[in-house]
Structure 1
Amino acid sequence: MKIILLVRTFLSTLFGAKTQDTDTMKILNPEDYNKAITASNVQLVDVRTAKEFDAGAIANAINIDFFKVDSFNNEFNKLDKEQPVYLYCRSGNRSQQSAKKLDSLGFKKIYDLQGGYMGWPYKN
């Protein structure tokens, strides 16, 4: 069952529809995203794998792996749903899918990095 779910998730990541801005979810370009995450203490979450995260990440991000289905909801439920959450992944696909999940979990404001970490110009 887990393998089927992982295959479906992988295929929808590759071929899934792009998330559009909604009242809850917004996609920010790197400049606006950078301004937002440096302006105050925010909930910044990298939804890539631990290996990807260890290879380089945005400062102060926590890692909640999108593919770890068992712990994904549990880890996000530890965050404040009333406060904005800023997501990113490698290219934007996993973070868009994560945003949809967070919307269904009741998060009020979700921001996604356009183009993901691959397009992040502020790497150290």
Structure 2
Amino acid sequence: MADLIQSDWVNQLEKDDNAIILDVRTDEEVAEGKIPNAIQIDIYKGQGFIYAVEELDKSKNFYVYCRSGGRSAQACAIMNQLGFDTTYNLLGGFSEWTGPVE
């Protein structure tokens, strides 16, 4: 896992043709907006989160975010334990996001 500030996260994401953006916030948080093209898997679903993450392609590079960066760091750590090699945590999360929102 690597912790990246928004500018680095976005710059790296734009150059990465093997990227998946993962939003680990709750449905209520996502209803307020999300980063375009992100898929959502709520980390608060516990074992359900693990089951859903296990369905993802481990060969992809995952750009993970939550509201402030704490849960996404936890998600990255879990994913690394499950065999995902490349995860990037967005420091500051969606609450500090200044990019496009859908």
User: TM (normalized to structure 2)?
Assistant: 0.90
Report % sequence identity: 38
The residue aligned with 2:7 is 31
RMSD between aligned residues: 1.3
The residue aligned with 1:105 is 82
SS of 2:76 mapped into structure 1: helix
The amino acid that maps onto 2:36 is A
Which of structures 1 and 2 has the larger relative contact order (alpha carbons within 8 angstroms, sep 6+)?
Answer: 2
The amino acid that maps onto 2:21 is L
SS of 2:31 mapped into structure 1: helix
Deviation at 1:41, TM superposition (A): 5.1
Q: Deviations over 1:20-68 (max 9, x none)?
A: xxxxx10111011112223335211000001101211100001100101
Runs in 1 of length 4+ with deviation above 2 angstroms? Answer: 36-41
The amino acid that maps onto 1:104 is Q
Distance 1:46 1:77 in 2: 15
The amino acid that maps onto 1:74 is Y
Superposed, 1:42-53 pairs within 5 Å as: 42-53=19-30
In proportion to residue count, which structure has more strand? 2
SS of 2:99 mapped into structure 1: coil
Q: Which runs of 5+ in 2 are unaligned?
A: none
